[in-house]
Chains A and B, each alone.
Chain A
């Protein structure tokens, strides 16, 4: 089946089984390896991507459901000014350790901050609650997002 969507700003058409996981299509067909598989069942968020601006677990998303959508992975997002604000803040706050969950958290932060540019700590914690991190205990990630939100004129 032919499925059309936009990935990282480029229109694409894939001819594939619509039940294939979006995760596999992004990794295997497009080589977007920043999309990680941590659990394969929508619990950990390492596979997070943005679909029309909403955070989505690509491991439980059949590719057929993204027909006509705009998909953003870390590979597309990392060229933006907003990414640079998050990157600098995450580094400074110690939000990165093993890094496997990190691209997912960055996209979760984007999904949160684009709707709510000045979130409270509770709103940040809720905003990233679909993503698991085993290394940091979340303190560094939460503080990183707080700092990113303080970047003037970005959000």
Chain B
């Protein structure tokens, strides 16, 4: 038996700060017993009296006009549900409502829903679906940005196939480039990524003759409700949305569930029976959102002393067939475009182009991972060009308090990166290894990435769009109910929110209740996205609990409402993207050590280290779980998760050919928390969910660059890419 590497404390990783907040110690995870024992009820486990099943007929072509649909006579008890059964607008509300619930005259991607077949037996439904013939008149599809210029391909969106286009400028960037001694350029590509939440998506619809209730695996009950209001054309009070235990989401269940919530609602109304729609994995892969593939061009003006004078960055994201959340993803990418560095003047241009392929959307990191990959690799390569050590070079440009951000806001808090880097180097042995691997040509390498994540919604989104409202209710039986629309999806919200309330009230956890959100019971405290749940919603709950504490002696029910108020230090202009893009930042530094196989070009990860500042961790074990899971997902993104499109079709179809990390693939990460305290977060908490994903890929790529002595400019760092990179004559 191997000797145990760690001591037997409950938490892997450690806390580097001298004082540890009392709330940070781990407590029993509230949802664990039901999940371990198999009692927890996920969407596919729901069963209603007289329930029907449903399955979707999807487009098999990337772009076409639907000429006709030939549907054989339906056996008794089986129904077709399509666009004609949408009582309101056939458009799923997100930022816009252009994406239809069901395609009508046209299809725009392989996998686009056309109709639903519903009935009592799943085998029979499949048989009926196989008998339906759709005649298409194909239209030349848009597969890439270059197709926008081809006059024979009609544009898919607007005249130029662009869902959105933005530009940010700060300082005299033309002057910087005019005065430059040389301009350093680089082009960085990242691929699509599949979420692979272990539980495929699903919804159930129930209609009682007056009201419709939709159950689902979801992150955002009120996004779903708003989409149903539009699709049904009904008043809000006739619509109820209930979250079922959600088996992982990672952003994949942010906007997508609204589509299938509509499907089951329309089907339930048409059939008068409850309808359950649960995807199998292959269907989930075909039709749900992916991480945006990106192409980022970076140009840096360098003066004769080797100092950076300015940067020009051009970000292009593939949005797929419908706009979805792409503009916001792009904004987050742009606001992270210069990474953690102080750059005197900048121009950042960004656009999302339309293609006839499955829409891309929210995924942990939300545009930031692409931007950090580009800027980290660019800075690394520029340092090498200047014959400087990459980490020392990066260190000399670190942002510090008072410095301007991309959007000309100000860093309002201390930037703890210098201390974090020191600690990271000590833990990983970076400096010595990096020098040795550079010399020795052992095909080993070590790389470092430095990154942040802007906490919560971008800009004034929390104040102007979300307007979160929470309720805390002392019940007759003296228990306290948390009433929020934020869901437990594996990230630990149930435990952390309860902890915040119990700690504020000074009562035991068992006294605080949290049930899966049901829009009939909970106010709209916003979506479970953007790493906002603890900082924003938890912050409101802490305030509410503070008020409730003074009234705990009152007899009977006491209800406390709390609404979001923007902290006074934030200044933001959404029209010009000027000011503080985020209320505060969480920080991270990763080191990754790799070995590249000289024959197969496979990248073997030998070690992973991380230092994080997420403010006060509300529960170290839960934050540790976010770190370990985020790193694993990031290592997959960086190395093995290849999702390719070929003529508008995904080449990977399921978990046999889309490979995610297994227990054998990567070593356990070693990490520590550096806890600063944020005055507007509950107990000083900032954000933690997305941050651990963001820096992994650039650290892997930098390590590979160190190992092979060639620039790495593409994710994933696949054997095929490395083979090409090493045989590239340039």
Contacts and interface: CB of A to CB of B under 8 A. Distances in A.
Contacts of B37: 34, 74, 78, 83, 87, 103
A43 B660 CA distance: 10
Interface in A99-137: 99-103, 106, 118, 120-122, 124-126, 128-129, 131-137
Nearest to B490: A98
Given A34-B38, A99-B40, A121-B2, A41 B660 contact: no
A36 B663 CA distance: 19
A71 interface: no
Contact of A78 (B26, B28, B38, B633): B38
B631 interface: yes
B629 A137 contact: yes
Nearest to A137: B632
Nearest to A124: B663
B29 interface: yes
B352 interface: no
A101 B250 CA distance: 15
Interface string B475-499: 0000000000000011110000000
B655 A96 contact: no
The prevalent SS among residues of A at the interface is loop
A146 B248 CA distance: 25
Nearest to B657: A43
B718 interface: no
B700 to A, nearest CB: 15
Interface in B2-60: 2, 4, 10-12, 26, 28-29, 31-42, 44-45
A92 B33 CA distance: 11
A110 to B, nearest CB: 12
Interface stretch (B195-203, B392-400, B450-458, B558-566): B195-203
A78 B35 CA distance: 12
B473 interface: no
Contacts, number: 181
A139 B669 contact: yes
B663 A99 contact: no
A145 B32 CA distance: 15
A120 B1 contact: yes
A35 B38 CA distance: 8
B369 interface: no
Contacts of A136: 625, 628-629, 632
Contacts of A36: 42, 44, 198-199, 247
Contacts of B36: 86-87, 90-91, 96, 99, 102-103, 106
B666 to A, nearest CB: 8
A124 B662 CA distance: 12
B161 interface: no
Interface string B157-200: 00000000000000000000000000000000000000111111
Given A83-B37, A94-B622, A140-B625, 12 more contacts: A38-B655, A73-B38, A97-B492, A98-B35, A98-B246, A100-B248, A102-B38, A120-B1, A128-B663, A134-B248, A135-B629, A140-B628
17 contacts: A38-B198, A38-B281, A86-B36, A91-B29, A96-B29, A97-B491, A98-B35, A98-B197, A122-B2, A124-B663, A129-B663, A132-B662, A133-B663, A134-B195, A134-B633, A135-B625, A143-B12
3 closest A-B pairs by beta carbon, nearest first, are: A34-B38, A99-B35, A98-B490
